Amino acid sequence: MEKLILIICDGLGDIPVNGKTPLQAARKPHIDALARDGECGLMHVFGMGIIPGSDTAHLQLLGYDPFLFYKGRGVFEALGAGIALGEGDVAFRSNFGTVDGRMNVTDRRAGRISTEEARELGKSLRGMKIDGAEVIFRQTVEHRGVLVLKGKGLSPNISDTDPHDGGPLLKARPLDKTREAKRTADILNKFTMLSNKILSAHPLNSKRKKEGTPPANIVLARGASVFERAPTIKGLYGISAACVAGGALYKGVGKYIGMDVLDVKGATGTKDTNLFSKAKAAEKALKNHDLVFLHIKATDSFGHDGDFKGRVGMIEKIDRIMPILRKTGAHIILTADHSTPVALKKHSFHPVPILAYGKLVRGDNVKKFDEIECAMGGIGHIEGRELMPLILSLLGKAKMFGT
């Protein structure tokens, strides 16, 4: 029975700085060995000229057309934070912010409050019910969190309370004329004022004020999205899959499509993530899954920071876990969800390098894994929607067309 490890290094694709991309500059003997023994190419995740977001790109790469299955990021963040969602629940991305006495948002990150303090404050917002809907707020990392409204008769068609660029706190408004949208906006507005009342009275905020740090005295919400159940990857493609990731978004995508999302100690979704323990978890998960999806976020973060050296260092760290993965005997696909060039500090249209290795891979003349070499590989230039057919082929699950 064939197995496959799909490694997605977030935002890995780049363009040269002083003649070299980070992949070209990095010392990565193990990854290059996989390129030499495998087959390479370039992948346009959504086609030429389209700049992928991480959420839509992951759906696409995992065989879920985002035009059908993308409902907004809040749903994935909520699932990734461990909240069980039911059909029709509405989820938001949210964060602690600071408002003054006239409800002006003076800091929409509440002074980048620490995870520990934010978690403590989050506890005071538990167990709420407003107008018959259950309201669940869960703090995740630093000032960030997710907000879920659970119940019947809700709608995602409402505006944000988060003013994004500061200024007065916004009132959520229904974006259509339905009762559901009006009701949902009302509930969100009531929750927002209630969060201000509860948090303002919290002793931790009195302490923050005394220390001269901005109190985290409001929960801001944005990007309402509705949960609708999707077919599982097992049902759709006949493969059992596990997800090894640190970031809530990626765990959420895994959960959404019915992967077993593993809790891996040290997998943080940040630059100090423990790649070694993630590789070990992937190795173990292969025993009872066809596919293991291994996500690494930090490559994207270094891209957004414009940190060339940091990105090179991260690639070299990733290189060091390759022997563990190669030894499993599983097929390996190494690629990215989009490019985040350090020179641009944001996602770009540039196609991403892709590498496939394993016993069903034919091979080519590429000897190094980088954006320039991969352009000459045997996989050629593909689109993201072709990745799942490649995965199925390597797993021996592709179907014959005709007889």
Q: Which is nearer to Zn ion, 321 or 352 (CB)?
A: 352
d(CA 24, CA 13): 11
Question: Could you say whether residue 32 binds Zn ion (CB under 5 A)?
Answer: no
Q: For residue 234, which of 262, 258, 261, 260 has the smallest C-alpha distance? A: 258
Minimum distance from residue 337 beta carbon to Zn ion (Å): 4
Backbone torsion region of residue 103, taken as left when φ is above 0, otherwise alpha when ψ lies between -120 and 50, otherwise beta: left
Provide the 3-class DSSP secondary structure of residue 16.
Answer: coil
**Closest CB to Zn ion belongs to which residue?**
54
42-50, 61-69, 208-216, 333-341 -> range binding Zn ion (CB under 5 A): 333-341
d(CA 220, CA 255): 25
* Binding letters toward Zn ion, positions 354-383, x by CB under 5 A: ------------------------------
Interface pick for Zn ion out of 337, 364, 370, 371 (rule CB under 5 A) = 337
- Phi/psi for 92 (5° steps) reads -125, 150
d(CA 284, CA 227): 31
Q: Which is nearer to Zn ion, 24 or 54 (CB)?
A: 54
Say if CB 267 and CB 298 are below 8 A apart.
no
Interface pick for Zn ion out of 89, 142, 290, 300 (rule CB under 5 A) = 300
d(CA 52, CA 184): 30
Minimum distance from residue 338 beta carbon to Zn ion (Å): 5
Which tokens hold the place of 394?
């390597």
94-102, 184-192, 258-266, 293-301 -> range binding Zn ion (CB under 5 A): 293-301
Q: For residue 221, which of 274, 163, 293 has the smallest C-alpha distance? A: 163
Q: Which is nearer to Zn ion, 10 or 364 (CB)?
A: 10
Minimum distance from residue 99 beta carbon to Zn ion (Å): 29
d(CA 357, CA 210): 58
Q: Which is nearer to Zn ion, 123 or 346 (CB)?
A: 346
Q: Tell me how many residues contact Zn ion (CB under 5 A).
A: 5
Q: How far are the Cα atoms of 43, 198, 254, 341, 346 from residue 349, in angstroms, in the given order?
A: 11, 45, 25, 10, 10
Interface pick for Zn ion out of 10, 142, 180, 283 (rule CB under 5 A) = 10
19-27, 51-59, 124-132, 136-144 -> range binding Zn ion (CB under 5 A): 51-59
Give the type of residue at 254. G
26-34, 50-58, 186-194, 285-293 -> range binding Zn ion (CB under 5 A): 50-58
Minimum distance from residue 226 beta carbon to Zn ion (Å): 23
Say if CB 253 and CB 70 are below 8 A apart.
no
8-16, 74-82, 127-135, 262-270 -> range binding Zn ion (CB under 5 A): 8-16
Q: How far are the Cα atoms of 65, 98, 127, 236 from residue 231, in angstroms, in the given order?
A: 12, 40, 31, 6
Interface pick for Zn ion out of 54, 95, 205, 225 (rule CB under 5 A) = 54
Cβ-proximal residues to 211 (8 Å cutoff; 6+ apart), any chain: none
Say if CB 74 and CB 241 are below 8 A apart.
no
6-14, 27-35, 134-142, 313-321 -> range binding Zn ion (CB under 5 A): 6-14
132-140, 149-157, 267-275, 294-302 -> range binding Zn ion (CB under 5 A): 294-302
Q: Which is nearer to Zn ion, 296 or 395 (CB)?
A: 296
Minimum distance from residue 8 beta carbon to Zn ion (Å): 8
* Strand boundaries in 258-344, DSSP class E: 260-261, 291-296, 331-335
Q: Which is nearer to Zn ion, 158 or 267 (CB)?
A: 267
Q: Dihedral angle at the C-alpha atoms of 28, 34, 35, 39, nearest 10 degrees?
A: -160
The residue count for the chain: 403
Q: Which is nearer to Zn ion, 208 or 295 (CB)?
A: 295
Minimum distance from residue 12 beta carbon to Zn ion (Å): 9
Strands 144-150 and 4-9: unpaired
Site of interaction with Zn ion (CB under 5 A): 10-11, 54, 300, 337
